[in-house]
Amino acid sequence: MKKVIIHIMPKQGVLDPQGKAIQTSLSALGFSEVEDIQTGKLVELFVEDAENIDERVGEMCDKLLANPVMEDYHFAVEEVAYT
């Protein structure tokens, strides 16, 4: 069993209103040391051992998980015991 951790973030230059809202709120709470925030999505897949896992996960991201126009993604694959 493999665990694939996918990070999906807006591309550089794409507006991130949620990030701006969080930054304003953090500043109001006294956390003024935060200079910038970007928010994104995190997807964890548990996949049966299969060949070409990197290629297959790339296809999943391109076809469904990420919007290639506005978002970048990267992922890491790790081995896990089945739970």
- Residues near a second copy (CB under 8 A) are 1, 7-9, 19, 22, 25-26, 29, 31, 33-48, 50, 56, 59-60, 63-65
Residue 30: left if φ>0, alpha if ψ -120 to 50, beta else—which one? left
- Compute the least distance from the CB of residue 5 to a second copy, in Å: 8
Least distance (Å) between residue 15 CB and a second copy:
16
- Report the amino acid identity of residue 12: Q
Residue with the two structure tokens 């809202």: 21
Q: Least Å distance between CB 69 and a second copy?
A: 19
> Any idea how long the chain is?
83
